[in-house]
Structure 1
Amino acid sequence: MIQTAAPPTLDGLFRRLLARQPDALALADPPDKPRVTGQPQQRLTFAQADRAIAALAAHFVEAGLPANSVIAVQLPNTVEFVLTVLAAHRAGLVVALLPQLWRQAEMTVALNRTGARAVVTVSRIDGVSHADLAMNAAVEAFSIRHVCGFGDDLPEGMACLDDVIANGPAAAPTATQDGRRAAIISFDVTAEGFRAVPRTHLHLIAGGLAIFLESGVPQGATIVSAFAPSSSAGLTSSLVIWLLSGGALILHHPFDAGVLEQQIGEQGCNVLVAPATLALRLAEAGMLSRMPALRRVIGLWRAPEQVASSPPWSTGQATLTDVYLFGEAGLFGACRADDGAPNPVLPGPQRAPRDAEDASITGEILLTPKGTLALRGPMIPVAAYATATPSGNFLIAQPLLDHVDTGYAARLDRTTGALCITAPPSGIMAVGGYRFLAHDLQEWAKRLGQGALLTALPDRLSGHRLAGRAQDNARAREAFLELGLNPLMSEAFRDSRAASG
């Protein structure tokens, strides 16, 4: 009987690199990590990272977390994030990615929605006590059985993972590795509301390959990532590309231009992963031209409808790959043309790299009859976006399609046949990587009393920005913080005079 190898997992890719180059640099923290989290900066080889991963995985098993249970992670872009994700997978767990700006209300919803059994956080990020946030959210989630964190001054009852790593693994976990199993859960907002989106290892690897092949990342590249790792795109564009390349992953806590320039220069980084609008601003300011080792820039567009009107790429020694993000549904990439303009994207099968005749098909772009863009292919979690419609007292599930409608309005150019993305999904506001239903904004504003207003205004850099008005803006900010809401909402009620100053 012929036995076929199990599909690859992220930890399996890491172990291959470990066997090949145990003493090579694997991970490096941002230089300003002491300011961000109060912890010392770390540089880990593959062997050192493996020992930390083994210790964390053993701790999760010893804490009684059964295989395939969910562990929620809210961590900054530091080595602890990468170690925790790989350790959870080695222990057979599924990682739920909690964005850094989420506060107690959103965290509680996510924990309850996924039935998470554990939470991993850090004592503080940029002065905010995320350890306290995690403990308060855990109290409201009945499924939580274990809360742990990195850093000093952790609340009573929270296990210290720094001590776990320092003491080393007690026993190697024996969870079965299978790429067809769920690896992460990220969170999206669609017209139907808040949605948990699970992805397998194969989904993630397929997404990483689409970016890796289109951008031409070389083997052994030194990659600096300045994109928050709290989404599937953030994970695939950093951790997965690193595992595919087999080089070093240099982490940057978004955003400090001086620190980023220091990292690229001192580490000799070949590849930069960053929000596309930020990359274009850095190129315009001339910063990237001062980095002779930098050869490839991967720019992620949270508002893909803005790509066509973006300025041309003018940094000669480095190529730019535009990566179009559609919430948590999926992505595709297109390297810029020789003149620096965005390359036209045609509907149909997408190849990477797209200028190679024998290139692999990474996915497919469709236009739906209602004029919206849809995606299908190996990275698309179709089942997660299946909807149900009410019928009497029952919910009737719609037939499962082979694609996901992103809701982005799109059309074809009559002359070239190229895809034109014209507008984001109706009723959904995006502020950077955070999406809200317009209706929900108004519901939150109602809690502030009569006359209060919270709305989203168009913004060239982040898609939208929140603006609020209340009889007492200072009290409105305090009220949103007391409700445990995203600070984007409370900051919307800044006094105009203070904002202009």
Structure 2
Amino acid sequence: MRAGPDEAASLLDGLHFDTLLQALAAGRGYEPALRDPPGRQGWSDAIPGSQSFGQLHGSADRLARLLAVNRAPPGARVAILAPLGPEAIVSVLACLRAGLSPMLMPMHGNELELLRLIEAADAVMALGVSRVGPLRPLLMLRELAVRAFGTRFVGGFGTDIPDGIAPLDRLMDSATLHPLPDFDQRAPLQVVDAMTLAGPLTVTERDVLARALEISRLLKPMDSSRIVTTLVGGDLAALASGPAMAMLTGVELLTLGLFSLGDLQACLAGGRNVHLVLPGTMEAALAHSRLASHPALASLVFVQRPAGQRSLPAVDRADIAIVDIDVTTAAEITVSRRS
């Protein structure tokens, strides 16, 4: 059953990521919110971990107060170069709490493409992680900050922080006393096409949560289940089907990032029902594998990009919900359940 426009509007009135996270931290603070895949250390040097809703709330608040030290004007843009995972999600939440507008940039962009995005957004700050496989996002951001006139602060997560970049993990420990700025309205998010890097385009928190509500009503995730996403970008499709839906429903989110088949098998064997989010191009491979019939699969979400064709054969599971997210642009998607 799909929420009508009036019903959805009433459900979303006054709702944003801060109110959701504050409610989850207050009522279910010890329950898991974010979890790393088992193999994360192999591609990031970070030991796999997890955060409860209470810890996520605290991390976002400390980073927001740290960013507020820079006294950027309300709505100023912050570029984020990190795969969709704990660091990226905390950065997005912190930016919004500090009255700033986050922009998640695709990891595969080259220097000229990322520079264009930073300059188009007029980003005043940039945040990133130290390593993603062979990539060194912080080194890239440091070079970009030299060339982008408006970017005056670069911060990095992790232990291997290059010179000239603020070590966020250490600085966040002393950021609790910095006041948050006052602002009249919530800043929007900037989204970039995951394939073509077109953008940035603007979406509001309400846009993201409305699509997350639409997806969640088709999947009906339970508290005891988890959402596992293989998407690494930060466009509307990735945000709505991952962190937004997880926070809206209070379900644990596991971001696979540069995942391996072993990681995916471990997630499905963890004893929870899994709502799995995959690029549409991976459907044929899944259909040919034993994972397609795994009893832990509670639903499948396939993100169909404009340039891609539907892969065949399709997964045949009449016992679970299979949802397609058709991407028109980075800021426009259509959600439908297969009959």
Is TM > 0.5 for Structure 1 vs Structure 2?
A: yes
2:191 paired residue among 186, 192, 199:
186
1:302 paired residue among 305, 322, 326:
305
Q: Quick check: 1:15 aligned with 2:18?
A: no
Q: Quick check: 1:29 aligned with 2:36?
A: yes
1:53-94 CA-to-partner distances (Å, cap 9, x unmatched) read 111011000133232111000112321111111111111110
Tell me what 2:115 maps to. Answer: 108
Larger radius of gyration: 1
**Separation in 2 of the partners of 1:254 and 1:177?**
39
Counterpart residue type for residue 32 of structure 1: G
> CA separation of 1:269/1:127 partners in 2, compared to 1, >3 Å: closer, same or farther?
farther
> CA separation of 1:212/1:123 partners in 2, compared to 1, >3 Å: closer, same or farther?
same
Structure 2, unpaired ranges of 5+: 1-11
* CA contact 2:95–2:101 (8 Å) conserved in 1: yes
> CA separation of 1:189/1:296 partners in 2, compared to 1, >3 Å: closer, same or farther?
closer
* CA contact 1:119–1:147 (8 Å) conserved in 2: yes
Taking structure 2 as the reference length, the TM-score comes to 0.89
* CA contact 1:52–1:168 (8 Å) conserved in 2: no
Secondary structure (helix, strand or coil) at the match of 1:263 reads helix
2:317 paired residue among 315, 318, 322:
315
**Separation in 1 of the partners of 2:271 and 2:74?**
38
RMSD of aligned alpha carbons: 2.5
Counterpart residue type for residue 301 of structure 1: Q
> CA separation of 1:246/1:317 partners in 2, compared to 1, >3 Å: closer, same or farther?
same
Offset of 1:174 from its aligned partner? 4.5
Secondary structure (helix, strand or coil) at the match of 2:74 reads coil
Q: Quick check: 1:236 aligned with 2:240?
A: yes
Tell me what 1:342 maps to. Answer: none
**Separation in 2 of the partners of 1:43 and 1:189?**
26
Tell me what 1:121 maps to. Answer: 128
Counterpart residue type for residue 314 of structure 1: D
Tell me what 2:72 maps to. Answer: 65
Tell me what 1:327 maps to. Answer: 329
Q: Quick check: 1:277 aligned with 2:284?
A: no
**Separation in 1 of the partners of 2:120 and 2:71?**
21
Tell me what 2:52 maps to. Answer: 45
Secondary structure (helix, strand or coil) at the match of 2:192 reads strand
Counterpart residue type for residue 86 of structure 1: L
1:172-203 CA-to-partner distances (Å, cap 9, x unmatched) read 5244474xx44211134999x95320111111
Counterpart residue type for residue 264 of structure 1: L
* CA contact 1:268–1:293 (8 Å) conserved in 2: yes
2:90 paired residue among 83, 104, 110:
83
1:212-231 CA-to-partner distances (Å, cap 9, x unmatched) read 22333345641111111321
Structure 1, unpaired ranges of 5+: 338-501
Aligned length: 328
Secondary structure (helix, strand or coil) at the match of 1:255 reads coil
Offset of 1:246 from its aligned partner? 0.7
2:230 paired residue among 215, 226, 230:
226
| Structure 1 or 2: more helix by fraction | 2
**Separation in 2 of the partners of 1:216 and 1:48?**
25
Offset of 1:130 from its aligned partner? 1.2
Identity among equivalent positions (%) equals 25
> CA separation of 1:175/1:252 partners in 2, compared to 1, >3 Å: closer, same or farther?
farther
Tell me what 2:106 maps to. Answer: 99
Taking structure 1 as the reference length, the TM-score comes to 0.61
> CA separation of 1:189/1:165 partners in 2, compared to 1, >3 Å: closer, same or farther?
closer
* CA contact 1:324–1:333 (8 Å) conserved in 2: yes
Secondary structure (helix, strand or coil) at the match of 2:290 reads coil
Offset of 1:286 from its aligned partner? 1.3
1:447-496 CA-to-partner distances (Å, cap 9, x unmatched) read xxxxxxxxxxxxxxxxxxxxxxxxxxxxxxxxxxxxxxxxxxxxxxxxxx
Tell me what 1:169 maps to. Answer: 176
Counterpart residue type for residue 126 of structure 1: G
| Structure 1 or 2: more strand by fraction | 1
Which has the bigger relative contact order, CA under 8 A and spacing at least 6?
A: 2
1:365-392 CA-to-partner distances (Å, cap 9, x unmatched) read xxxxxxxxxxxxxxxxxxxxxxxxxxxx
**Separation in 1 of the partners of 2:145 and 2:205?**
27
